[in-house]
Structure 1
Amino acid sequence: MKKLAARIATAAVAIPALIFGMSGTSYADSDNVTWRDDATGLCLAWDSNYITGALDWVGTRNCNSGRGSTRWRDVNVGGAWRQMPAATNSSGGWVNVCLAAWKPGGSGSDSVYLEGCTDNNPWQQWQEVQAFGGWHLKHVQDGYLLDSNANGDVYATPDPGWNYNNTYQLWH
């Protein structure tokens, strides 16, 4: 009887550990997600231009801000993810805009911005890599990590590999 109880207890601990501990996907694997920066507590946000109405701003702000939104659509594109503003167009469909990154003129970091989504575009794809109780959003094209600062700026910087203590690159 003791052996049976021990086996049941071991299975009760081991099975959830295998399922959750080895999972490579985030809690955010649903239609609507929020990404909160570990260092600042601010959320990845998008907003529209007041004049043109185009979705053209990316940064961080209070997660409960009434301006713009901190909600994103996490869309699987064959092992990577598109981060798309959770916004609808005038017809009621989802907007076709993606979070993208690109390195202008040899600078040390990538600019992060919104642009119209295109198929198979690695500049618009992010891997969600589990790291130290949170997630690194790793840009598919160049391997840079989504990063932020205390001023609310968002950009992508090289993955330091060994230095996961940069909490500005850790998202929940």
Structure 2
Amino acid sequence: MSDYLHHVSGFFAHDDQAYDVQRKLMAVEIPAARIHVLNKTTPLPPHEATADSNGVLKDMLVDGAIGTAVGTGVGALAQIAFVTANVSLFVASPLVAPLVMLGWGAGLGGFLGAAVGAAKKPKPFSDLVKDAISNDQYVVIVETITPAETTMAQNIIREAVGDFTDEAKA
């Protein structure tokens, strides 16, 4: 069994364009179960979990760990500055103050590191699809299992929308 799987998609302003593409794809014997026409009223197709489904979690943990390390360093520098200036956060317990300052810096750094890291990540294709659907567009997504099906689907969608970019090859 081949592991080839490719997704070809097209974005349309009107439903008649999207359903015309769907009819043409079915005419070249791509099964209707692998052709998804999405809009505001259709549920998203089921998506099976893959080995890299934890990618967002891993990215968040790495960004958080980097932020925690940076925050701990900033907290330590701030505590050293307070000690040299003879300022104490807690007059009653000066031994606890440095630990509190380090913990505060680590917590804040971890949160900010994860937030900044998440903001710099490129947006996935699913966000593009959600944006199109929320703006009353129609999205056709075709699951192809052979290179020949991929070429046929690309040609049909290109004919309907114009030129395209294949993100897998770009």
Task: Kindly indicate which of the two structures has a greater share of residues assigned to helix.
Answer: 2
Larger Rg: 2
TM > 0.5 between the two?
A: no
Q: Which has the higher contact order (CA 8 A, sep 6+)?
A: 2
